[in-house]
Chains A and B, each alone.
Chain A
């Protein structure tokens, strides 16, 4: 059951963070509500005030250009992101990740901002945004600042944002046309489900630059430390996979939960690293097609 709270629809960004500031940590931004309302019902969150930012027009915009990258307003629903041609062609790993979140109905409401701010270890859009080095644009009574996704996650369900900060947009830097991204997710059923393990990678065969990130395998989604050298497109995958696995296990701490055991997650890790590398280097298709 939902407890009692007040609901305000902010008209401006300033109006939004001012309300948050005034409520002194007892308010929460309401985006799609697909995490927040579930958490309130389950008694895991009990804000006195919900500040709905969807009335602020500027947060509803999604722009993309190859030169400047993508700017995704905080209120843009995931379905809009999945359907955006620029995102699909330049950041297919993000489009894929967004597409695996929940069901069509959920994605009509759910946002990237909410997915990141909820800070679940299993958040599907986190791994691709980590490898793409995405940046949150944040506003508060103290002004505006930028927070790299790489420094957002502090702990399970905890971010580095302060209670009076509103995410206004997610900025994804431009990438060369040669850059490849990929996302893979293991779930218990083929229909919508949270991840047992999710991984994303970014690779540019022109420069040999490779980055991978792993979700659902630690308290937060994690970026795997870099290899420290360029990876040629014909690099032998088994060996590369072993090296990345060795780096990955420095940052992951798989646990057992109701979705899978720690042992199973640990066993999936090398498999998914290998598949991710196959997708990035050989462009083999382990993904399900985006419909």
Chain B
């Protein structure tokens, strides 16, 4: 029996379909209170007075919390400790938490919120990152968090990558193209909003139940804000209705706020955001400005690139330094470039702190690098797939940051397979014929190739580890615990398959328990497309240990090896009767990585995933409307453990990429986001998805990975949006340089 690669149904699917999965808001504890957060209405100002006296007199209000009530450090711990849990003197963005209240019921909590009086002295604010860098701009950043403060007080981070000689590279080029590209906010739009419940426990401990990606981040943050040892903080993940990066750092804030109230009230406290609050006050994808210059020889060979990019980080550091780092290491694309100069800056502004979002700082530079490849192809009169093929990285090549690729480089195969599956040349001809016969409509085809460094890499190598706990029950069923989470991506299926395959048992004989920080050691965050890879390895390690014990026991019982799966209950029973230890722990850590911040060179990631997407769009020239007609998505994520969930990830990524490139937009004025919910923020619907996308996996195996698997989760979105944008540019025959490519923007481009 092999379960690996099969389209095994997700063990968590039935409950979710039936509505039986319990999300945070479905849970209640005896005496539980309901929290509301009193937030700043202005982007920048000094807090003059916080008057909660009327709140406190509300008959249903149990308690309020201000910075004076914080027993530990008043910070939301992420990377830098610049963000306070509750602002105490200055507010830096609209929606920043200032005070908290807990009431007996949700309606009363809302009512009481309106009784709070906070006086501010409004200060000048800046929301554009380029303006924030100008001398004399209002200062946003907490000085200690502005690594680039010598240059500008609002420069959070500046990172450079320099390889070869860029000047010489451009001198050697036959053509040079330059462009400026802008992308806007993207909201995660997970189905379930942010939420956590904090429950004070005996012996001065506390448990957090929450919708989250990173239980160990939350554990650390809550311990810090309450001033508790880590052992006193337990975090349990509840069924999580989507995350996409939005539940990487933000749950640390949500849980910290709930914990502060629970600690003071000595009662359970639930804090669940409503949609408007969630959209306005939680992290989004960093808006960007990317300037890109590329040079190539007549035959298309890249000679040099020079990239200068700026990300709007918002008011606090949160994850921006890591987001910037990934942008830096993705900016060259999946190509061989001998001479490289990349310079990235993340800038503080008086806006909501931006954070992790599927792709994590890479989609912004991907839009740029793929647009540049097309510009080069156009100037050289070359086919767009061909120029990518010629420059694509192969085993033995060096990446832009000087990393020699030892194995598992499938980008060339993705390009070649995408050419075949999309019937590239035929399609280009068909599109030309369509355009010749339709005066008011244009079709276009776009392509995009990407690389993705799997895992956290050299930015935080200490996080790339994972644990597993595996227990043979007395009846031969198996309990498994891990430290990375299911958030809709299919991890439960993948890990259950790995364990059941190795033990030779049916999927329904294994139970993966809710993720709980007391079950396994810190396993790092469930981000960076690392869940299946890292926890998969930990599970394999545990399985290996348990199998050895099972083998021993079966020898003693005279059970031949091939009969073990069928007679596992007998063997398990003997463990019980003979007092054998039926539980094991698995452990995994990533291969070593290294990176030099001075040069930007090194081996920042242990392996890369790749993809090539081909998209076909139709543009209505009179209205500027865009329709995504087809998409061919070819991915190399190493071994695919579950075809069904993997294809689901790809199809979802295509739709999310469509949203990023075309429909999703948040206007911002004076630090205020002009968005309320899904009537104003338009995510694509299922009818906007291409009717029958083609998804295929070429499997360039990664030998240290579980069965050769790498990571997949983020890559589909990364490849999709740029293929769609490039298809639009192809259709209208004009440059496109800013997302979203709304009908209005398309009409402007057409008029230019």
Contact = CB atoms under 8 A, between A and B. Distances in A.
B743 A1 contact: no
Nearest to A263: B744
A35 interface: no
A193 B623 contact: no
Interface string B111-133: 00000000000000000000000
Interface string B29-51: 00000000000000000000000
A190 B674 contact: no
B744 A189 contact: no
B685 A192 contact: yes
Interface string A1-17: 10000000000000000
A279 to B, nearest CB: 15
Nearest to A271: B622
Q: What is the predominant secondary structure among interface residues of chain B facing chain A?
A: mixed
A189 B684 contact: yes
Q: From B627, B675, B683, B744, name the one whose CB has the most chain A CB atoms within 10 angstroms.
A: B744
Contacts of B675: 258
B688 A190 contact: yes
B685 A1 contact: no
**What bracket does the count of chain B residues touching chain A fall in?**
20 to 34
B682 A268 contact: no
A194 interface: yes
Contacts of B743: 260, 264
Contacts of B663: 188-189
A258 B688 contact: no
A189 to B, nearest CB: 5
Nearest to A194: B679
A191 B744 contact: no
**What bracket does the count of chain A residues touching chain B fall in?**
10 to 19
B556 to A, nearest CB: 60
B110 A1 contact: yes
B107 interface: yes
Interface in A230-269: 258-261, 263-264, 267-268
Nearest to B620: A271
Contacts of B684: 189, 191
A186 interface: yes
A264 B745 CA distance: 10
B747 interface: yes
A1 B105 CA distance: 12
Interface in B662-693: 663, 667, 674-675, 679-680, 682-688
B60 interface: no
A84 B570 CA distance: 64
B573 interface: no
A193 B743 CA distance: 15
A4 to B, nearest CB: 9
B106 interface: yes
A189 B675 CA distance: 17
A19 B255 CA distance: 47
Contacts of A186: 623, 625
B747 A190 contact: no
Contacts of B106: 1
Nearest to A186: B623
A264 B744 contact: yes
Contact of A190 (B623, B667, B687): B687
Contact of A261 (B110, B683, B687, B744): B744
Contacts of B680: 258-259
A125 to B, nearest CB: 19
Nearest to A192: B685
Interface string B688-724: 1000000000000000000000000000000000000
B627 A260 contact: no
A261 B622 CA distance: 16
Given A1-B107, A268-B623, A271-B623, A193 B682 contact: yes
A223 to B, nearest CB: 23
A191 B679 contact: no
A77 B437 CA distance: 42
B687 A258 contact: no
Interface in B609-654: 622-623, 625, 627
Given A258-B674, A258-B680, A264-B747, A191 B685 contact: yes
A189 B682 contact: yes
B682 A267 contact: no
Contacts of A188: 663, 682
A191 B688 contact: yes
Given A190-B688, A258-B680, A264-B743, 19 more contacts: A1-B107, A186-B623, A188-B663, A188-B682, A189-B663, A189-B682, A189-B683, A189-B684, A189-B687, A190-B685, A191-B685, A191-B688, A193-B682, A194-B679, A258-B667, A258-B675, A259-B680, A264-B744, A268-B623
25 contacts: A1-B106, A1-B107, A1-B110, A188-B663, A188-B682, A189-B663, A189-B683, A189-B685, A189-B687, A189-B688, A190-B627, A190-B685, A190-B687, A190-B688, A191-B684, A192-B685, A258-B667, A258-B675, A258-B680, A260-B743, A263-B744, A264-B743, A264-B744, A264-B747, A268-B623
